[in-house]
Amino acid sequence: MALTEETRAQLLEIVARYPVPRSALNPMLHLVQSEEGYVSPEGIELCAEIVGLAPAEVAAVATFYTMYKRRPVGEHHIGVCVNPQCGILGGEAIFDALSSDLEIGNDETSADGKITIERIECQAACTYAPVATVDWEFMDDMSVDKMRDVVAKLRSGEEVQSSRGPVVQGFRAAERAIAGMDDGQADAGANNADANMQRGLTVAKEQGMPAVDGGLKS
């Protein structure tokens, strides 16, 4: 899908949020992904023109961060955390199962164009290891069977709800939200910092440890 004048207008809208145009580059690239499913050469050219950088400079940013994709992502993006905590508790097994079921490897898309899988790094959600993401929404305490069920629902078009509330909307919609466009789901999560996540802080307070309430006590 070619980028449109509407896309250009939205990119300019993002730029207007920042004192320096080039500072807007990261959300701009996410907006390009929301339109094209990846950071296309055309998107790189357009961003470069708008912020006054060389296309090579924009490409350097797009190739540095793993969230920017160089080829089209499927309808849904599934990330499986394989860092130590998640990997040991089942992340590696989950990734291997999805890879085998879908007959694709890391950063590849299923033949029906529905699912892209990726081995991802720690999502700072180790409390709920093994963790996966669907369109960057958390799926906590996963297992091979649970993720197979998620994939089956996604492929058949059934609704999939994140463990933390939001209903997953698709990769492109997620990218649009990351670009800063309101998707109306900002308040959809109910337990983003629940008792399990704050367990360390609770114990620290109970035991009178010095590093509490966001600062060191003397």
User: Contact positions toward ligand FES, by CB under 6 A?
Assistant: 81, 83, 85-86, 122-123, 125-126, 129, 131
Given a contact cutoff of 8 angstroms between Cβ atoms, the answer to whether 51 and 88 are in contact is no
| Residue whose tokens read 């899908």 | 1
Which lies closer to ligand FES via its Cβ, residue 77 or residue 172? 77
Q: Which of 26, 113, 17, 33 is nearest to 42 (CA)?
A: 33
What is the torsional sign of CA 40, 46, 75, 84? Answer: positive
Beta carbon of residue 21, minimum distance to ligand FES (angstroms, whole number) = 34
Beta carbon of residue 194, minimum distance to ligand FES (angstroms, whole number) = 15
Which lies closer to ligand FES via its Cβ, residue 123 or residue 161? 123
Beta carbon of residue 109, minimum distance to ligand FES (angstroms, whole number) = 23
How many angstroms separate the CA atoms of 213 and 70, rounded? Answer: 42
160: left (phi over 0), alpha (psi -120 to 50) or beta: beta
Which lies closer to ligand FES via its Cβ, residue 59 or residue 139? 139
Beta carbon of residue 86, minimum distance to ligand FES (angstroms, whole number) = 3
Which lies closer to ligand FES via its Cβ, residue 126 or residue 212? 126
Half-sphere exposure of 47 (CA within 13 A, CB side): 27
Beta carbon of residue 47, minimum distance to ligand FES (angstroms, whole number) = 31
Which lies closer to ligand FES via its Cβ, residue 47 or residue 131? 131
